[in-house]
């Protein structure tokens, strides 16, 4: 499969998310009940209600929000191979999503064969974007809406975690571990996903989060190049 993928048609993507509220006490009472029904019962005695919410809510589109979407493109027709990235980030999720939708429209105009590529995007990033769009009363972009009618094997998105499974559906591998196995420098040289909420809510450092997100996108592109036996990008 990997050899059949035209890397010039891929838009590499990654998102960063955080709990909607800074602390559990700020969550409306009814939403607190809903959180307890969905995840709260999994809290151990070692964790406080506040810590469990803050460390887990961002994973779920119903209780989290997107603060950054980073995308990247590889251009193999240039010498050396070129790479360009762009990020949509900020506190206003609706504006972020609308700007991202404009990007999708432009990409589709330039190349109707384009598709997304990322690590675990079929299980996380793309569904999260769709759910948060609807929660924000933003109609799904037609490119995303058509995913609802497709069977899993008809979804043209490229998922590097799926590529690494080779049919082993119980396998899971992190982006960091996959990069290490393939001899690619780790993208986690500053922060990791578990730090994003703290950096957003306590340090108010969106630029640092954007940089982290862009590193993950670049690493995903490097992984696909490596899997295809192509020269890596100079990063």
- pLDDT digits over 217-232, tens only? 999 999 999 999 999 9
Q: Give me the chain's average pLDDT, please.
A: 92
**So what's the pLDDT on residue 3?**
84
Give CA angle at 178 (97, 127), nearest 5°.
Answer: 25
Assigned domain for 30 exists? no
Assigned domain for 235 exists? no
**So what's the pLDDT on residue 34?**
95
Assigned domain for 56 exists? no
> Is the backbone peptide bond immediately before 80 cis, with ω within 30 degrees of 0?
yes
Q: How many domains does the chain have?
A: 1
**So what's the pLDDT on residue 154?**
64
Q: What percent of the chain has pLDDT over 70?
A: 96
Give CA angle at 8 (4, 13), nearest 5°.
Answer: 100
CATH code assigned at 67: 3.30.420.10
Assigned domain for 125 exists? yes
**So what's the pLDDT on residue 12?**
98
pLDDT (average), residues 57-76: 97
Residue span of the structural domain in which 77 resides: 2-20+63-227
Assigned domain for 194 exists? yes
pLDDT (average), residues 34-59: 90
Q: Which of 4-13, 71-80, 182-191 has the lowest mean pLDDT?
A: 182-191
């Amino acid at each position: 499969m990997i050899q059949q993928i035209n890397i010039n048609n891929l838009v590499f993507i990654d998102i960063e998310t955080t709990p909607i509220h800074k602390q559990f006490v700020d969550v409306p009472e009814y939403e607190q009940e809903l959180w307890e029904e969905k995840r709260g019962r999994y809290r151990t005695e070692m964790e406080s209600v506040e810590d469990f919410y803050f460390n887990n809510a961002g994973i779920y589109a119903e209780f989290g929000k997107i603060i950054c979407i980073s995308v990247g493109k590889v251009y193999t027709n240039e010498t050396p191979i070129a790479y360009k990235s762009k990020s949509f980030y900020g506190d206003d999720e609706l504006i972020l999503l609308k700007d991202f939708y404009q990007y999708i429209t432009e990409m589709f105009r330039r190349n109707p064969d384009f598709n997304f590529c990322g690590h675990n995007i079929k299980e996380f990033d793309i569904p999260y974007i769709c759910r948060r769009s609807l929660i924000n009363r933003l109609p799904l972009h037609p490119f995303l809406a058509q995913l609802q009618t497709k069977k899993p094997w008809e979804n043209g998105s490229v998922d590097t975690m799926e590529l690494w499974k080779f049919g082993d559906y119980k396998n899971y591998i992190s982006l960091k571990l996959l990069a290490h196995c393939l001899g690619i420098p780790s993208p986690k040289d500053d922060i990791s996903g578990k730090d994003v909420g703290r950096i957003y809510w306590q340090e108010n450092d969106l630029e640092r989060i954007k940089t982290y997100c862009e590193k993950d996108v670049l690493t995903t592109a490097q992984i696909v190049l490596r899997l295809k036996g192509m020269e890596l990008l100079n990063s």
